[in-house]
Amino acid sequence: MFKSETRVRRVLQEGRLVFQPVYGTIVNYRIGIRTQMPKWCLVQIMGENTVSNAGQLVGRKMILKFGKNSFVGRIIDLHGKKGVVKVKFHKGIPGQALGAKVELLS
């Protein structure tokens, strides 16, 4: 992954600007009454706890590196009012990946 492809957060530390990647945590699958959808996940973005901040991320790509596999998804919509977003992955993710970190790409 190249530095130019990764979305970074600008942080001012000791008078200089430092760039840090943006991560999120998979909270759960998107679920229905009798079904769960392993391609759709709810992701809490670290540091984004409002709808307006998370709304700016709609349309961005996310990547999950899990074991030897990497899963690529896209932020589709918001979920609730606490900054949780819905991500649709190209392939279904395994249940062991719940609680794993995902990285936000640009």
DSSP secondary structure letter of residue 92: P
| Whole-number CA gyration radius for the chain | 14
22-104 — its CATH code?
2.40.10.190
**94-104: average pLDDT:** 93
Confidence of residue 3 (pLDDT cuts 50, 70, 90): very low
Domain borders along the chain are 22-104
pLDDT in tens, 20-53: 788 999 999 999 999 999 999 999 998 877 888 8
For the segment 46-55, what is each residue's pLDDT rounded down to a tens digit?
887 788 888 8
Per the CB < 8 A criterion, the answer to whether 66 and 97 are in contact is yes
